[in-house]
Chain A
């Protein structure tokens, strides 16, 4: 029983990753497909961090500790992307 949750999460990650590829084949390079794939990757990363990395068991201070560099990276990436304006 104890290992049901990690196995279920693993299975979910595998299925959604296969799903990513399936969605890709429906229309490579289109905006809606790209958005869907990006969204799945984002959710999968969150789930991996939350359950396999055990963030859910860490105190909230660790959450903030990890959010700080993520926020800074987002600022860096957005600055890079908008350096020459929206294309």
Chain B
């Protein structure tokens, strides 16, 4: 294969993956923008017929999904991948192959989600929030929506893995001397962003997998008339509201980086900004989601609590903005493109923030809910503030990435036109507070007609403006004048020439392939595994056709091939992890990989918590429920519990054996654990067979069946993954891969297996005894 192509397909280097995220997010951004223009053309005039109702609904749904999840979030990840390791002096991300896998899962997830447009019945059309029951098969039939939700599952998985990786890098891979006090603002904000991602995306993943289960297997989680819609709302918005900060905070991090450089003074109140951002992320961002549900019939007391929390979360943002303004006050400001975009971002955030306070009041929300006022508000925050901040970052770092200076005049015109276009597009929406959103057309009303037309004109100005940044990037990369190593006089580590290397700077830092580091660390496994997962999901969604199953099997075969290759690379120690000797406080006592496993398990807590929470919600709202012991064989469940608890002991003994350097003990105890785990699954299989065929108790027979099979099945899937890991560990142990000093793999497995035990300790009584 051509070396250039191979590099971009197989790379695991953080800078290359940063570039890939940039290109990928821009690609999806263009699709999202095209859909937005279509919508605005349709709404430019009353009773317009450019789009049908169905096409409009598909466009509005995919526009939202793509812009939030495949454009804004990944654009931030582009910066995080490229610059965060440089800022903290790390060689790469902690898990480079996982990073590459995350990228390809994101990219193919977007492709898979878009395939729905080509399928009979079209794509998902129930809005980006995929509210139940619109997202179910009754109102969104056909394979298109199923494929779209499969793409979302891939994205949520990608983000969760990426979050674990980035937290691990920031915590465990900082160079000596890069203490927390010296961590630059952008990395701090990426850290906060990732914390928001870490605990919010698993809830989204749980909701999506439940939705897929409803659509493909015929379970009843969200189709239930006893609160199915509320269940989706809670699981979705538990993710959805923190996602606002996921989109916004990286832009604020870039602003925090850029303001001091271009105002020639330190960032004002840095510690207060960090404290406020920390408070926003944890806990406040997780305490406000129900303000999206004021009118869904939740209790008044719950509405009041979330209303107060929502007003509360605006306070730290006020302080952050005031600190930004204080930095600018009486400063010697250089008004270059990065700086003017920062100022634009702050201005737009203030407008978005003030209108957001209106919506936090559940009394006013009765009036504004589901109108264009809401559309205007969240576009000011999520598009205006976020995208202007990210544009500032692009201009700021373009000389670093390309080694060349961008065209300043073109960048200024980009700002002027996009600022005018943005405000002409979205400001009229505040006056459309009486026009419902998500309607594909409207009867002629003088005030609506003119405001919608102005808004559409603004959309085209904004779109044309943003062509300029693409032209500017291409021009810079090809013809821009050579940039000095530190054109802005910045003081953060990524601008220090010896860190980057003069040659890589001259050719573009991503062109570090000449160093030889890249080629040694190319891996085809991440992209192969992502392709396998994509094919599998497409097959799963197309099971309505007879050949769908064949596609699914083909996808699983590709996955198996890629995983075997991945494991084979590890057994050959092709990718030896470097032992970092830098700053690790406050996790110095925990080895990097073990810390990574703890982070992963903390996300799994949310996943299982959401699924068990869904069960408790359904159970508490169900009119009738089978008596405990009337369906499930309690002795069988008890036996299985004993088997699993015993396997927990043997896994522990396996770890203790290798801690003493006892290789044979390790293999023996792992073997026993493997047998016990397989026995657990065997008993479970027999139990399911008996329930399904003997008692007619299936996942489609009602909510008790749906919740039982899904929750126990999710646990069984974890057990199956554990068994596969054990096969790998035993193989590696037989090759002498573990010793008294090096046994992190066994340690991580023991943690994982104990977690699987703990989950079952709850699942058994919940489904068998209560």
Binding site for B on A (CB under 8 A): 2-3, 6-7, 9-10, 13-14, 17-18, 20-21, 24, 28-29, 34, 37-38, 40-41, 44-45, 48-49, 52-54, 58-59, 61-62, 65-66, 68-73, 75-77, 79-85, 87
Contacts and interface: CB of A to CB of B under 8 A. Distances in A.
A55 B302 CA distance: 35
A20 B614 CA distance: 24
A37 B762 contact: no
A68 B278 CA distance: 13
B736 to A, nearest CB: 24
A20 B610 CA distance: 25
Given A24-B769, A41-B762, A76-B234, A59 B610 contact: no
A37 B770 contact: yes
B231 A59 contact: no
Nearest to A73: B609
A28 B770 CA distance: 8
Interface in B334-366: none
B163 interface: no
Contacts of B634: 21, 24
| Majority secondary structure, B binding face | helix
Which interface residue of A34, A38, A71, A77 has the most chain B CB atoms within 10 A? Answer: A77
Given A69-B603, A79-B302, A80-B234, A61 B761 contact: no
Contacts of B282: 68
A52 B628 contact: no
Contacts of A71: 283
A34 B605 CA distance: 23
A21 to B, nearest CB: 5
Given A20-B769, A79-B234, A84 B602 contact: no
9 contacts: A3-B656, A10-B648, A21-B634, A28-B629, A44-B761, A72-B286, A73-B609, A80-B230, A81-B616
Contacts of B617: 77, 80-81, 83
B120 interface: no
- Which of B609, B613, B653, B765 counts the most A-chain CB atoms under 10 A from its CB? B765
Interface of B: 199, 203, 227, 230-231, 234-235, 238, 282-283, 286-287, 290, 297-299, 301-302, 586-587, 589-590, 598-599, 601-603, 605-606, 609-610, 612-614, 616-617, 620-621, 627-629, 634, 638, 641-642, 645-646, 648-649, 651-653, 656, 750-751, 754-755, 757-758, 761-762, 764-765, 769-770
User: What 8 A-B pairs come out closest when comparing CB atoms?
Assistant: A73-B609, A53-B754, A77-B613, A80-B617, A69-B605, A10-B649, A24-B769, A52-B754
B656 A66 contact: no
A75 B656 contact: no
Contacts of A45: 758, 761-762
A28 B632 CA distance: 13
Contacts of B770: 34, 37-38
Given A65-B598, A70-B605, A75-B287, A24 B628 contact: yes
Given A73-B609, A82-B299, A28 B599 contact: no
Contact of A83 (B298, B642, B649, B651): B298
A70 B638 CA distance: 26
A20 B203 CA distance: 30
Interface centre among B283, B598, B652, by most A CB within 10 Å? B652
Contacts, number: 164
Contacts of A79: 234, 290, 302
A56 B628 CA distance: 35
A80 B589 contact: no
B652 A37 contact: no
B203 A76 contact: yes
A49 B638 CA distance: 20
A72 B241 CA distance: 14
Given A17-B638, A48-B648, A53-B754, A81 B620 contact: yes
Given A17-B638, A75-B286, 9 more contacts: A24-B628, A48-B648, A52-B750, A53-B758, A66-B605, A69-B602, A76-B610, A77-B616, A79-B290
A59 B531 CA distance: 40
Contact of B751 (A53, A75, A85): A53
A41 B641 CA distance: 12
A85 B299 CA distance: 6
Given A73-B613, A76-B609, A61 B586 contact: yes
A41 B765 contact: yes
Nearest to B660: A2
Contacts of B616: 77, 80-81
B635 to A, nearest CB: 8
Contacts of A61: 586-587
A28 B628 contact: yes
B68 to A, nearest CB: 21
B613 to A, nearest CB: 4
A83 B751 CA distance: 35
A66 B227 contact: no
A58 B594 CA distance: 10
Nearest to B621: A84
Contacts of A13: 645, 761
Given A29-B627, A41-B761, A18 B638 contact: yes
Contacts of A87: 620-621
A71 B282 CA distance: 11
Contacts of A53: 750-751, 754-755, 758
Contacts of B649: 6-7, 9-10, 52
A57 to B, nearest CB: 9
Counting chain B CB atoms within 10 Å of each CB, the highest count among A66, A69, A70, A75 belongs to A69
Contacts of A10: 645-646, 648-649
B302 A83 contact: yes
Contacts of A68: 199, 282, 602
Contacts of B754: 48-49, 52-53
A17 B653 contact: no
Contacts of A69: 199, 602-603, 605-606, 609
Contacts of B602: 65-66, 68-69
